[in-house]
């Protein structure tokens, strides 16, 4: 698989840095962009490929959509409260280190994001 920017296979998919770098580049090119990556929120359904990658490649806040009984695409069924640390491949990490907010449906995302910045 190759995307339109000539990035190949694993480099083009999370948890690689490229998707996060491309998102930043595209955001800077938008006329209405304001803020810094520190104000970004990454929403995903996988602790390692979304949340850990977002924490690794930027100072992103993270929202995990963990709908009961739904397994992220291409992932084996695991306890969603634990994940394999992709850095070592073997160590387990607490998802609380990687997930700022956990929701069970996409309808909860706006409130979760608002809660991240309520001070």
pLDDT at residue number 35:
65
Contact 82, 95 (CB under 8 A): yes
d(CA 28, CA 44): 22
Q: Evaluate if residue 103 carries a pLDDT over 60.
A: yes
Q: Tell me the three state secondary structure of residue 25.
A: helix
Phi-psi category of residue 52: left, alpha or beta, with phi > 0 → left and psi -120 to 50 → alpha: alpha
Calculate the average pLDDT of the chain.
76
Q: Evaluate if residue 14 carries a pLDDT over 50.
A: yes
pLDDT, average across residues 85-94 = 44
pLDDT at residue number 74:
62
pLDDT at residue number 90:
34
pTM for the complete prediction?
Answer: 0.72
Q: Where are the domains of the chain?
A: 39-117
């Amino acid at each position: 698989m190759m995307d339109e920017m000539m990035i190949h296979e694993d480099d083009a998919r999370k948890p690689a840095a490229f998707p996060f770098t491309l998102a930043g580049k595209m955001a800077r090119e938008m006329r209405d962009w304001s803020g810094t990556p520190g104000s970004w929120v990454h929403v995903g359904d996988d602790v390692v490929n979304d949340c850990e990658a977002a924490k690794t490649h930027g100072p992103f806040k993270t929202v995990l959509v963990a709908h009961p009984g739904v397994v992220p695409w291409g992932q084996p069924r695991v306890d969603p409260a634990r994940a394999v640390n992709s850095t070592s491949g073997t160590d387990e990490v607490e998802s609380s280190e990687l997930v700022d907010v956990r929701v069970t449906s996409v309808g909860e995302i706006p409130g979760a994001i608002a809660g991240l910045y309520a001070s």
